[in-house]
Structure 1
């Protein structure tokens, strides 16, 4: 819509009233005012307006004398209005976008442009530490659903003129704001141009799922590979560190998470605690996370393989043999428990906080002692699955945790069906899914392992001392 404004106030207000459906929308408000002896009016969204600021601006407009009014709205915005964020808008589409984003729009009779007063105040929660992305040390603030506050949290940490925050819009109806954050002298320019091109080419009605919708729009290939292409974080310090390393951080309005690109599997496994502790402790935490990730993938398929081939079990591991009667095949016990654990996780999310403790106790008793006594599950199976369920939470990335879960399920099925050859095929399939994956930039998903860079590989596995 490239329609221009008229210089007559009545024509502009009648057109806007029609477009905005003012009689129906109670939260879109039009208020008539006078300034400099002329009729004027303001449009704003109830709930987005900083009332104390607006009161002072209205007091100024009421006191303005006719001789103090300039010839054009552009001069009015640039030299007369005593406020910082002021703009003059001539295009109706631009005005509607700004108004529906929360900008107060002032129309004055005789001006063929609207004066935008950005005195927005979005409803928001406090910048408390994220409930999921926690750290034992370090900052305790987190991103919120308001885009401007999220960019401010990053600016607070990177006080450099090289930091750029470029805003774009996607979604024909939602017109969701998207910000690309990067360091000018460190960013991959080819990736930046490609990302901007992909975002500009998005043809969807709205980003209904925020960053997930954006991720699916800008990277459409290989949907069947479960390993994540993006790293998500709610921590401003993690996002700032990624920007300083030359990555691009994508912020989406109404989402409390930042999306980091490009991302390899080593980037996803890293956490903030690796850097908030001394090098020895940070290295131990990082290596532990790598080892536990491998164990969660292989523990239950390996046990199933040994159960199917008891003569392979050495004497010093003879205690792992199931001693009780197996009423249900072991592979089905593992598969049922995998599903039951996800069911409990979903139930925990939807359980009111006041009921979470008693229901956890009941679930623990029922799925623990009673299921073993009734013969549905064997105690050894329950123990291994309990370790896997808890160890999955060592990964802060839900996407990586579920990718390992899907690979583990495939390994279990293949091992049950084809014994050793199925076990080997499952491991090869998992390695192929990881090695054959690519980052959004089209580079290796396992860099610096391939192509090999020993210096960077050492830094991925060990927490090195900070150098200049």
Structure 2
């Protein structure tokens, strides 16, 4: 049974001293004062408190005399505390959780309850447009690591009383705030009930990797199927549009993105620009992205298949054959270039911005002209792999991009080993990976209900 607040402030101080590292941790603070002739104590986290607000609140406390001191904590909060967000708590588990979350908790001798004053403020960066999810037209704001700011960005766009922001807590140690957002009159009630039950029944210690940890805990993915189960976005306008479509948006504190479900393969390849342009332009962009997505998977395997069966090539397309001497088998060239492209991407991520342009030029020259002249790679292979590398950047979803890459590698290896039969087997595996990739809603990417 959880311990309750005592009327004796000394007992409350003693208990909190045992539960909180007040002496050991510099940022967990206790401030003892006298209010209306009674001993009182504040407990708060340094760095989470709004100093200006607390100065005004303290002034109202010191103005209280013994004669007009209220008889209960609730009466004190109503008559003395000059602040909006005030709560009365008598359970020490809730009190400690509030203190560690940044809420200021006040204990007054003679009161059997704690007065929780939510004057917290979290360090936060500006709501700038995300680098990965840009839009040529439309809003220029993006999600940040503070969950309250993220909910406000969506609430600003949807002024509907049916919009619900349900706050949950996940993790025994981290106690991370998780918000499940949905339109009450449009959401799939069965999906919502299933999702809330899963989150509330989670028995994990922490969400050390924020949203990714929650996604893995909610739905145990099969390691051999790389296709993502959820769609992520850093744009509040995209999240708001999905809410209005009846979807569920999940926000996790300390994570600058929203998790959207249910999802399909068509949802994965969508981006904000598709909706900010006229209908015809938006449809063209969607079709173009879909075609390029398909080509990123099949372009190089088809080239390899035709090179292994040159008699299939019509005379009008004879120019696609490799003209120069092949020193290294084509399959090895492609696999090495796949690895080299990932190496360049990783290097770009860790390169200071002032050096990224000159190093990119150097890498392009070395990987391009010199590698062909040295005989390691053929120019045709370099051309087609360059197309694949650039086409990957048309894919807004990072996880889906790598899932398609793994499918392409599988198709390349099977085609090299078994020729036409291997290519056919690879196509079947890709289709099955999509068709049987069950998501949290019980449906797959093709929107077919799976039992």
Structure-2 separation of matches of 1:398 and 1:165: 27
Give the Cα separation in 2 of the matches to 1:89 and 1:230. Answer: 37
Distance 1:107 1:226 in 2: 52
Q: For residues 261-296 of structure 1, what are the alpha-carbon distances to aligned partners after superposition, in whole Å with 9 as ceiling and x for unaligned?
A: 111111111111111000111111010000000011
1:208 aligned partner: 208
**Equivalent residue for 1:454?**
none
Aligned to 2:65: 65
Give 1:267's aligned residue: 267
Shift of 1:224: 2.2
Cα displacement string for residues 364-404 of structure 1 (whole angstroms, at most 9, x for unaligned residues)? 12111111111111111111111111111111101111111
* C-alpha distance in 1 between matches for 2:312 and 2:79: 85
Is it true that 1:177 corresponds to 2:177 in the alignment?
Answer: yes
Instruction: State the match for 1:156 in structure 2.
Output: 156
In the TM superposition, residue 221 of structure 1 has moved relative to its aligned partner by 4.4
Is the contact made by 2:171 and 2:206 (CA closer than 8 Å) also made in structure 1?
yes
8 Å contact kept, 2:434–2:444: no
Instruction: Verify the 8 A CA contact 2:61 2:80 in the aligned structure 1.
Output: no
Query: Counterpart of 1:430?
Result: 430
Number of the residue aligned with 2:192 = 192
Establish whether residue 22 from structure 1 lines up as the match of residue 22 from structure 2: yes
Query: Which deviations, in whole Å up to 9, do the C-alpha atoms of 1:433-462 show, x marking residues without a partner?
Result: 111222311124213xx58xxxxxxxxxxx
Q: What is the correspondence of 1:66-81 to structure 2 with a 5 Å cutoff?
A: 66-81=66-81
Tell me the distance in 2 between the aligned counterparts of 1:186 and 1:66. 55
Shift of 1:18: 2.2
Alignment partners' CA distance in 2, 1:368 and 1:33: 72
Find the counterpart in structure 1 of residue 168 from structure 2: 168
Cα separation, 2, equivalents of 1:160 and 1:220: 34
Distance 1:188 1:67 in 2: 57
**How much does 1:79 deviate?**
4.1
Is the CA contact 1:182–1:248 (under 8 Å) kept in the aligned structure 2?
A: yes
Q: Secondary structure at the match of 1:33?
A: strand
Q: Please give the secondary structure, in 1, of the residue aligned with 2:14.
A: helix
CA distance in 1, matches of 2:393, 2:78: 54
- TM value normalised by structure 2: 0.97
User: Which residues of 2 match residues 166-315 of structure 1 at below 5 A?
Assistant: 166-315=166-315
Partner SS state of residue 327, structure 2: coil
Kept after mapping to 2: 8 A contact 1:263/1:440 = no
Q: Distance in 2 between matches of 1:93 and 1:83?
A: 24
> Are the aligned partners of 2:60 and 2:80 in contact in 1 as well (CA < 8 Å)?
no
Q: Which residue of 2 aligns with 1:455?
A: none
Which SS does the other structure have where 1:137 is aligned?
Answer: coil
5 Å-filtered alignment, 1:365-380, equals 365-380=365-380
CA–CA separation in structure 1 for the residues paired with 2:364 and 2:62: 68
**Hey, what's the Cα distance between the residues in 2 that align with 1:273 and 1:354?**
29
Name the CA distance, whole Å, in 2 between partners of 1:77 and 1:336.
68
Answer yes or no: is the 8 Å Cα contact 1:78–1:87 preserved in 2. Answer: no
Distance 1:303 1:135 in 2: 34
The aligned counterpart of 2:112 is 112
Residues in 2 aligned to 1:127 and 1:202: alpha-carbon distance in whole angstroms = 31
In the alignment, the residues of structure 1 paired with residue 222 and residue 163 of structure 2 have an alpha-carbon distance, to the nearest angstrom, of 32
Partner of 1:441: 441
Instruction: Please state if 1:6 is matched with 2:2.
Output: no
Q: How does 1:37-48 map to 2 (within 5 A)?
A: 37-48=37-48
- Deviation per residue, 1:81-123 (Å, 9 max, x gap): 1211000111111011011001011111111211111011100
Q: Per-residue CA shift, 1:121-170, capped at 9, x if unaligned?
A: 10000000001111111110000000000000000000000000001111
Matched, 1:323 2:334: no
Question: 1:50 is matched with which residue?
Answer: 50
Q: Which runs of 5+ in 1 are unaligned?
A: 452-468
For residue 252 of structure 1, report the CA deviation from its aligned partner.
0.3
**What's the CA shift for 1:213?**
0.7
CA drift of 1:71 comes to 1.6
User: Displacement of 1:7 after TM fit?
Assistant: 1.2
Q: 57-66 or 69-78: which moved more?
A: 69-78
What is the CA–CA distance in structure 2 between the aligned matches of 1:185 and 1:206, rounded to whole Å? 33
Q: How many residues matched?
A: 449
1-side partners of 2:133 and 2:68: how far apart?
Answer: 54
State the match for 1:398 in structure 2. Answer: 398
In structure 2, what is the equivalent of residue 134 of structure 1? 134
Q: Which ranges in structure 2 are unaligned for 5 or more consecutive residues?
A: none
- Segment drifting more, 76-85 vs 239-248: 76-85
- Structure 1: how far apart are the matches of 2:301 and 2:99? 57
For residue 351 of structure 1, report the CA deviation from its aligned partner: 1.3
Q: CA deviation at 1:323?
A: 1.1
Q: 1:34 — aligned with what?
A: 34
Residue 89 of structure 2 is aligned to residue 89 of structure 1: yes
CA distance in 1, matches of 2:415, 2:61: 77
- For 1:68 and 1:274, locate their aligned partners in 2 and report how far apart those are by CA, in whole Å: 63
Q: Tell which deviates more after alignment, 160-169 or 59-68.
A: 59-68
Shift of 1:210: 0.8
Residues of 2 paired with 1:46 and 1:219: CA distance? 37
Name the stretch that deviates more: 368-377 or 90-99: 368-377
Secondary structure in structure 2 of the residue aligned to 1:445: coil
